[in-house]
């Protein structure tokens, strides 16, 4: 029997906001070295869970564990050395260049007011090369397209050199070509160094294609989890999304492909 190890986990978590509880008594373990994707309908709690795992949102009750200790007990800088976050949107100061922004990913590893070292600069360059933005190093962030900005944000997260990376809807606002480009890049990063990735995605077919571990949520609870090929069925999709469908084999990747059933239109 294979033992699944997990550096990041939510234990009996209740999460939400002062006016609304989103999920109660939620327990989730993120398997190490996997590309985990969280899916579910709008307002089911997937992004709220991710933000709680990243310590952006404090749970109402329960605990998030990072390396066996409550994440709330760590200094902020220590969390940033262990866990990176690519938010849905990010704000950059006016006039800052790509290289300057990506360099901020090194701040958790630097002493206060100490300039970047040769090693820091090499790591920043490698992060920009890996995400395809090295040629944009001297460009202002404000000049970039949405797809370019997303790649820069990923480069910043990579420059942190964390072994766990959380991505909150990384394909939001991107056209289909840039969505695939972003997810291919994430898959390459996972395959290359075994980094633990956790992403929230809306597109179930993208999730099936890229995830090595899938968590399906509905109404603030985990309905099913496992490898997409093992858990994605027509029954699961209808239970989670209310969508009648067929599941066929993706001819390119041989992963589950969700095909919605045609609905009869009124004459």
What is the count of structural domains for the chain? 1
- H-helix or E-strand containing 77? helix 76-82
Higher pLDDT, 109 or 104: 104
Distance CA 83, CA 22 (A): 24
CB atoms near residue 115 (< 10 Å) = 7
In a domain, residue 119? The reply is no
The pLDDT tens digits of the residues spanning 236-254 come to 999 999 999 999 999 999 9
The pLDDT tens digits of the residues spanning 170-223 come to 998 788 998 998 999 999 989 988 999 999 999 999 999 999 999 999 999 999
Tokens of 261: 């059933």
Distance CA 103, CA 255 (A): 37
In a domain, residue 217? The reply is yes
For residue 101, how many C-alpha atoms fall within 13 Å in the half-sphere facing its CB? Answer: 28
In a domain, residue 158? The reply is no
CATH no. for residue 248?
3.40.50.300
In a domain, residue 189? The reply is yes
In a domain, residue 116? The reply is no
Distance CA 82, CA 217 (A): 26
Closest CA to 160 of 91, 78, 38: 78
Tokens of 189: 């990063």
In a domain, residue 62? The reply is yes
- The whole-number average pLDDT for the span 254-261 is 97
Specify the 3-state DSSP secondary structure of 178: helix
In a domain, residue 241? The reply is yes
Percent of the chain having pLDDT more than 90?
A: 78
What are the angstrom distances between the C-alpha of 34 and each of 210, 238, 240?
A: 11, 26, 23
- The whole-number average pLDDT for the span 70-89 is 93
User: Domain range spanning residue 227?
Assistant: 6-90+163-260
Distance CA 92, CA 134 (A): 18
In a domain, residue 104? The reply is no
């Amino acid at each position: 029997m294979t033992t699944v190890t997990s550096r990041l986990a939510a234990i009996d978590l209740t999460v939400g906001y002062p006016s609304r509880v989103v999920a109660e008594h939620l327990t989730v373990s993120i398997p190490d070295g996997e590309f985990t994707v969280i899916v579910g309908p709008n307002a089911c709690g997937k992004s709220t869970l991710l933000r709680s795992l990243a310590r952006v949102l404090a749970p109402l009750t329960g605990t998030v564990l990072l390396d066996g200790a409550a994440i709330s007990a760590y200094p902020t800088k220590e969390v940033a050395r262990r866990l990176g976050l690519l938010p849905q949107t990010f704000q950059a100061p006016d006039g800052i260049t790509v290289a300057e922004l990506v360099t901020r990913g090194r701040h958790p590893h630097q002493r206060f007011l100490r300039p970047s070292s040769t090693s820091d600069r090499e790591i920043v360059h490698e992060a920009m090369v890996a995400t395809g933005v090295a040629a944009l190093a001297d460009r202002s962030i404000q000049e970039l397209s949405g797809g370019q900005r997303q790649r820069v944000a990923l480069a910043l997260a990579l420059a942190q050199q964390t072994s766990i990376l959380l991505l909150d809807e990384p394909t939001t606002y991107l056209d289909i070509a840039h969505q695939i480009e972003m997810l291919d890049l994430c898959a390459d990063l996972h395959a290359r160094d075994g980094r633990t990735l956790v992403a929230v995605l809306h597109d179930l077919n993208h999730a099936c294609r890229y995830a090595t571990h899938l968590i399906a949520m509905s109404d603030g609870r985990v309905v099913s989890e496992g490898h997409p090929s093992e858990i994605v069925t027509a029954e699961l999709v209808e239970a989670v999304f209310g969508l009648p469908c067929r599941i066929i084999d993706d001819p390119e990747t041989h992963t589950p492909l969700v095909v919605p059933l045609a609905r009869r239109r009124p004459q």
